[in-house]
Amino acid sequence: MNFKDGIVILLTKQEYMQRLYKALKPLSKENRNKVMNDYELQFSQEMKNGKTEQDIIYDLGSPEDAAEYFINMYQSDRGYHDHYNIEQASNKNSSTAHSWEAAIWGTLSIIIVPTMIAIMLAFFALGIAFCIAGMVMVFSSFILNSLSIGFFFIAVAGVFLSVFGIFIAILSIYDGIKLIGKYFRFIRNRIKYGGKAK
């Protein structure tokens, strides 16, 4: 489940902590409070570092999955060691979300990237068409070899059209490649960092 786009991202810190406390019910009160205190500390430290509640909740993952991790850990007598286990639990939870997100964005890329390339090539072809049309206009005015003002303006317009066409063709390739690069960086950030810029 993609927790960032699902229910968890809609939770506030208070709601998240309530659900975590409820899900930790199989633990003793002492162990449950220990986990809750460490999560409170985790929220406090991360918010001091500039993260929002939503960012922290996304990193921590589902409160039910986190609770299941700690319950299994206590039941297997592996013990509990402060924030290292919070990090392990959140990595376990968010890895599933990131896997789903990677699959979704990978599938969308099969449609989006060829569409972006097609649009880029369409603008490039349009630019080349303008350029050719302009050259034809210039060439035609020279072939007609007329000194009239009308043919002179046709030649000047042809030159401007050719320059405009070349400009569109170059710009479409440049901006197209730049846009595709930004798109892939966006996907990398979504998958690796949960959409947060790095």
Q: Which residues contact 150 (CB under 8 A, 6 or more apart)?
A: none
Q: Domain check: are 179 and 104 in the same one?
A: yes
pLDDT tens readout for residues 72-108? 877 765 554 444 455 556 655 555 555 666 667 677 7
From 52, 80, 108, the end of a domain falls on 80
Number of compact structural domains in the chain: 2
Q: Domain check: are 73 and 113 in the same one?
A: no
Residue 90: inside a domain: no
Angle at 69 between CA 66 and CA 73, to 5 degrees: 145
3-state DSSP helix/strand/coil % of the chain, to nearest 5? 80, 0, 20
Residue 95: inside a domain: no
Please say if the pLDDT value at position 121 is more than 70: yes
Where in the sequence is the domain holding 18, given as residue range(s)? 8-80
3-state class (DSSP) for residue 86: helix
Distance, CA of 28 to chain centre: 41
Location of structure tokens 């080349």: 128
Residue 89: inside a domain: no
**What's the CA gap between 64 and 78, in Å, rounded?**
20
Q: Work out the mean pLDDT of the chain and round it to a whole number.
A: 76
